[in-house]
Copies of this chain bind each other. A is one copy, B any other.
Amino acid sequence: SVNPDLASERQTASFSVEKLTAWLDGGAEHTRLRRAVVEVIERDPVFSRENQYFQSQNERYEVAVKKAVHLQKKMHEMGWTESGPEFKYIYRAVSGDVAFLLHSIFIRSISVLGSDKQIAKWIPLASQYKLIGSYAQTELGHGTYLQGLETTAVFDITTQEFILNTPKISAMKWWPGDMGRSATHTVVFAQLYVHGKCYGVHPFIVQIRSLQDHSLCPGIIAGDIGPKMNFEHIDNGYLMLQNVRVPRENMLNKFCEVQPDGTYVRRGSPKINYFTMTTVRISLISHEVVIPLMKACTIAIRYSVVRRQSKLKPGEQEAKILDYQTQQEKLLPQLAAAYAFRFIDDYLQELFNRGYGEIQRNNFDMLPELHALSSGFKALVSQFGTSGVKICLQACGGHGYSLLSGLPSLYTKILASCIYEGENTILLLQTARFLIKCFMAASTGQHIPPSVTYLAAVKPKKCPAKNKLDFLRPDIYTEAYQHTAVRLISSTAAKLQDLIQSGVKKYNAWNQCTVQLVQAVKAHCHYITVKNFVETVEKLETTTGIQKIMKHLCDLFALHGIFSNTGVFLHDGYISGEQMDMVTASYLDLLAIIRKDAVPLVDAFDFTDSSLNSALGSYDGQVYQRLYEWAQKSPTNKQMSPAYEKYLKPLLHNTLSKL
């Protein structure tokens, strides 16, 4: 039975939860299909996550491999294919802890970087799992800066082979997933040398383990890099290469080739490499950031109407903690952010699809903008998402700290999204280069991409809001964000130019502006997020309650951003201190309004209990009962610890040498 404190929250929803779910899914048909996939997966005991929080790294790896192999069978059994409509729901349904994610990056890298011949040879082998692939790029000493990779591949003209080596310890491949224990093959990125000349980093297919008995191939030293904050189910690995020879055909050669006589040939635009990274960065936003944030909000908000603590009103029952303004102020902005980033994901997908279409027509014009947006948003969304999940965890007090809440594993996993696929600060600075360039171009009247044309527009000098209700007008707050983004970009561009004109070397000047550039890029992405939320709400039908509640969430997201960053809006007086008090008043008012629909708003995300895997967040709100039941299952309760016989008993019985 549903806890009455949770049930009552659902009776007063201002909108239809089912309709909101369908809208988020892109139509009721999609909802049906998603639920069907989830049901098939969850009915199968192999995909159970029941014991996940009790498992060791070794156990989680074993289970992840088991699930990955079983998933292949399941897909075959169900007639699901990688190009079918069900495919996109599978990862969400399995909810993590599945191996071979790098196998698909192995496949993708060959598809993108390999010649037709290479594709014809390797893709069928990989697709049928006659080999297990990985992707060996990062080294102990080198991450995001690819040019610095130290692994070498020297062309031996006499044998028509590349000889791969790890010249020093910092050159060891380190972190690649699926490589520590699973992979038989990997794509190794190495500095190509032909006749003593270095041609930069290139990809090579290298077999690392025997297909017969999985033993390491000659010249290969490989293993697992050990424990991490999360991802225990993935065998992130290390790889050292000692005179490992691969045939000339194993260099992926769609864009560049070493011919038999050692001639190096480059074909087409190397920019396409960026496009692959762009794809990965955009795709991780939904799966690795938005969904975990939505889950954390679901858990924390449901718990916050079940948990009662202290008396709000003297003489009454203890209050639900979500009735406290401070708790609302922690959780509701995270809920609004989950929606905001869900819509940014749509925006980026749409942009990506258009860009991909152009590329297929050999038009690469959109690449810089796509690269800048995917980098900036990967950084912004992963940072907001990580901070949001942390807030949800802490808002659940002690119980949030228990693994059984589900929040610690969501948190330690999402935290990694700030680092992988490009460290966030480096990504933001890549976007900064694009913005500064566009700003300079705009100031000389040149054409600039659509997402930054606002940099060229003329802006009012003061915010026209007269009362707190004015700050619920999307034009008012969107303009404020736009003004701030322009101000931060233009003032940093001016500082950069001043430094250079005063004789500071360009690279030094850039370094001295980077703290401010990071701020400027965040303001830019924040502005686009608000603008996109506003546009999404405008497109909704006004007849349903959905438009109204989405408008509230949009307002909350926008005003929370101003409330949390008052300085950037106050700095030049665009918003006055008095107006800022209006922002605060409107912002705090919104908390109380959205609080009423908080549970329906997370219910609409439509996560099953098993996908949440949380003693605090289940649909029925039977929080305490579930915590107690789950704790019983912990290995710490399976038997008396050997510590008793070994240490406690001698201590208590004083058979130790006299203390």
Contact = CB atoms under 8 A, between A and B. Distances in A.
Interface in A478-516: 505, 507-508, 511-516
Contact of A238 (B313, B508, B572, B628): B628
A517 to B, nearest CB: 9
Interface stretch (A241-249, A469-477, A532-540, A634-642): A634-642
Contact of A225 (B235, B327, B424, B631): B631
A643 B68 CA distance: 11
Contact of A227 (B143, B223, B312, B634): B634
Interface string A161-203: 0000000011010110000111010000000000000000000
Contacts of A426: 310
A229 B129 contact: no
A22 to B, nearest CB: 34
A514 B325 contact: yes
Contact of A223 (B307, B637, B657): B637
A625 B66 contact: no
Given A141-B624, A630-B226, A659-B128, A325 B398 contact: no
Q: How many copies does the complex hold?
A: 2
Nearest to A622: B169
Contacts of A434: none
A652 B452 CA distance: 50
Interface stretch (A264-272, A279-287, A560-568): A560-568
Interface string A110-150: 00000000000000000011111000001011111100100
A64 to B, nearest CB: 8
Contacts of A87: none
A633 B138 CA distance: 22
A185 to B, nearest CB: 11
A228 B325 contact: no
A307 B138 CA distance: 14
A229 B138 CA distance: 28
A398 B175 contact: yes
A322 interface: no
B175 A65 contact: no
A632 interface: yes
B326 A514 contact: yes
Interface string A322-336: 011111011000000
Interface string A402-420: 1110001000100110111
A652 B511 contact: no
Contact of A577 (B505, B571, B580): B571
Given A69-B651, A652-B211, A656-B69, A229 B403 contact: yes
Contacts of A511: 312, 323-325
Given A66-B643, A130-B652, A515-B326, A568 B566 contact: yes
Contacts of A89: none
Given A138-B398, A659-B72, A588 B630 contact: no
Interface string A26-68: 0000000000000000000000000001101110011001101
Given A130-B652, A641-B181, A402 B225 contact: yes
A345 interface: no
A145 B636 contact: no
A648 interface: yes
A515 B325 contact: yes
A144 to B, nearest CB: 7
A147 to B, nearest CB: 8
A465 B397 CA distance: 43
A419 B398 contact: yes
Contacts of A62: 641-643, 646-647
A649 interface: yes
A224 interface: yes
A580 B571 contact: yes
A213 to B, nearest CB: 8
A394 B225 CA distance: 18
Given A318-B145, A325-B514, A511-B325, A636 B401 contact: no
A512 B142 CA distance: 51
A235 B58 contact: no
A309 interface: yes
A646 B398 contact: no
A223 B142 contact: no
A175 B182 CA distance: 39
A404 B129 contact: no
Contact of A637 (B224, B567, B580, B637): B224
A214 interface: yes
A61 B636 contact: yes
Nearest to A577: B571
A169 B132 CA distance: 49
Nearest to A330: B425
Q: Which residue, A571, A572, A643, has most C-beta atoms of chain B within 10 A?
A: A643
B326 A425 contact: yes
Contact of A570 (B61, B143, B567, B630): B567
A344 to B, nearest CB: 22
Contacts of A9: none
A227 B182 contact: no
Contacts of A184: 652
Given A62-B642, A144-B309, A566-B567, 10 more contacts: A129-B652, A130-B652, A169-B625, A172-B624, A174-B398, A182-B643, A323-B511, A565-B567, A566-B566, A570-B577
> A-B pairs with the 5 shortest C-beta distances?
A566-B567, A226-B634, A567-B567, A224-B636, A227-B403
20 contacts: A54-B226, A62-B642, A65-B643, A66-B647, A73-B657, A132-B651, A140-B628, A141-B624, A144-B309, A174-B398, A182-B648, A225-B402, A226-B636, A226-B637, A327-B425, A394-B418, A401-B415, A412-B412, A512-B588, A515-B588
